[in-house]
Amino acid sequence: MTVFLKAWFPWMAVFALAMIPAYACAQTARPPATIPSSEKAAMAQLVALRDSFVSRIKAEGFQPSLPPPEIILDNPPSYGAYDREKNVVHVAMWEQLGPDQQAQFASLFGQGDQAFEEMAHRWIFTHELGHWWQACQHENGGSHYSVESGASRIAAAYWREQDALFMDKTAMKIAAIRDNMRSLVPAEQQNEKFFNENYWKLGPTPAFIWFHCDMISKMLTERPLPSFRQTLQQPLYP
Ligand SMILES: [Zn+2]
């Protein structure tokens, strides 16, 4: 059980993304020649995704009030974090995770580069871009629940348009985690009010994981499914 809970810990961190107001990073400039090709390739992919995301926003007639966020590949405490103060998205790089972190990730999401790329560099990264859009729209006053759910709703709508199969797969992974962990949270606490009132207390507990998976799974039952444009118009949800 201890191992199980330890293994789930990174998943909790995955969703703690909006909790980090200013992720401090000791990033030092490196000469281009010393940057591994795998890192260059990952960065190129993330830049392309970011630019596609921003282009889609502009195509819907919106003009973002912030420049596209800078991207830093490192080892943030949650695989990904948007730093609102610096307008930077930090994203995890597999090679920068410690052996324990790598093992934990694999136990949650599966082995291999593809599992990491899909979860960290596609889903989590796009969720972070959702927080960037919330910052563009000066959305500061929402509940913890609506901030997190809103960012995931934007990410989900983006991926439904771009790669519906990927979004289906991600939704299934999240739903499975929710079902597996439901017993960790007392029934009377399985609600939005409890989540908002106990946000900081829940943070370091496995219950936090369950709440986020439940939140995303509920958000995905919305019918009709919102378009990307609709999610942009309502950055917090519900
Ligand atoms: Zn978040």
Where is pLDDT greater, at 74 or 105? 74
Structure confidence at residue 28 (pLDDT): 56
Structure confidence at residue 104 (pLDDT): 76
Q: Which residues contact 187 (CB under 8 A, 6 or more apart)?
A: none
User: Can you read off the two tokens belonging to residue 231?
Assistant: 């999610």
Query: Ligand 1: distance of its center to the CA of 90 in Å?
Result: 12
Query: Ligand 1: distance of its center to the CA of 131 in Å?
Result: 7
How many Å apart are CA 221 and CA 112, to the nearest integer?
A: 30
Per the document, the length of the chain is 238
Residue 173 has pLDDT above 80, yes or no: yes
Smallest CA-to-CA distance from 129 within 66, 177, 173, 75 is with: 66
Asked if 171 contacts 217 with a C-beta cutoff of 8 angstroms, the reply is yes
Tell me which amino acid residue 112 is.
Answer: G
Query: Ligand 1: distance of its center to the CA of 236 in Å?
Result: 11
Query: Ligand 1: distance of its center to the CA of 34 in Å?
Result: 32
Query: Ligand 1: distance of its center to the CA of 80 in Å?
Result: 9
Query: Ligand 1: distance of its center to the CA of 18 in Å?
Result: 4
**β-strands 70-74, 80-83 pairing:** unpaired
Residue 51 has pLDDT above 80, yes or no: yes
Cα distances from 104 to residues 5, 116, 148, in angstroms, run: 10, 12, 23
Query: Ligand 1: distance of its center to the CA of 150 in Å?
Result: 9
Classify residue 170 by burial, with Cβ atoms within 10 Å: 0-12, 13-18, 19+.
buried
Of the candidate ranges 94-98, 155-159, 210-214, 225-229, the one whose mean pLDDT is the lowest: 210-214
Question: In this predicted model, what pLDDT tens digit does every residue of 112-148 receive, in sequence order?
Answer: 889 899 989 999 999 999 999 999 999 988 999 999 9
Query: Ligand 1: distance of its center to the CA of 16 in Å?
Result: 6
Mean pLDDT of the chain: 86
